Amino acid sequence: MNNQYPAIHLNYVQESLSSYIAQIEYGIEEEGLFSICTLVPTSSLQESTYASAQASKVGIALGISQKQIFLMHRKAGPDTFILHKAPPSLTDAEGRTLGKNAARLVKGLPLYPV
């Protein structure tokens, strides 16, 4: 895993829908930040996402599965989701906004309403 530059880590599981991941990445890119995608086992999504958040230079990681998308913050501890969304009801635009909001948490700008 490349930890040399400031990036938001995206941890996804095998079954997650690739279009959501792409939209989240685009959202992060539009805000001028970088992202790193990693495939992780379904059973340890939450643990590995928190580990990624701790490893990330910006302290933020997203966990993406078929059922849920959540954002974890290095400082918030292993049990706290800062943002939480359920993909079945998520449109492309909402996915993009989620990515933007993840980046805006890093930039210190107010979040867009989802």
Within a 10 A sphere around the Cβ of 3, how many other Cβ atoms?
A: 12
Taking Cα atoms as reference points, which of 55, 37, 36, 33 lies closest to residue 103? 33
Contact between 1 and other proteins by CB under 8 A: the answer reads no
Q: Which of 3, 75, 78, 86 binds other proteins (CB under 8 A)?
A: 75
Rounded least distance, CB 32 to other proteins, Å: 6
Choose the binding region for other proteins from 3-11, 34-42, 44-52, 79-87 (rule: CB under 8 A). 79-87
In one-letter notation, the amino acid at residue 55 is A
Among 18, 19, 30, 44, binds other proteins (CB under 8 A): 30
Residue 83 token pair: 């943002």
Q: 17-48 burial, b if ≥16 CB within 10 A, otherwise e? A: beebbebbbbbbeebebebbbeebeeeebbeb
Q: Indicate whether 82 belongs to the interface with other proteins (CB under 8 A).
A: yes
Quick one: which segment of 37-45, 48-56, 61-69, 104-112 binds other proteins (CB under 8 A)? Answer: 104-112
Nearer to other proteins, 40 or 99 (CB): 99
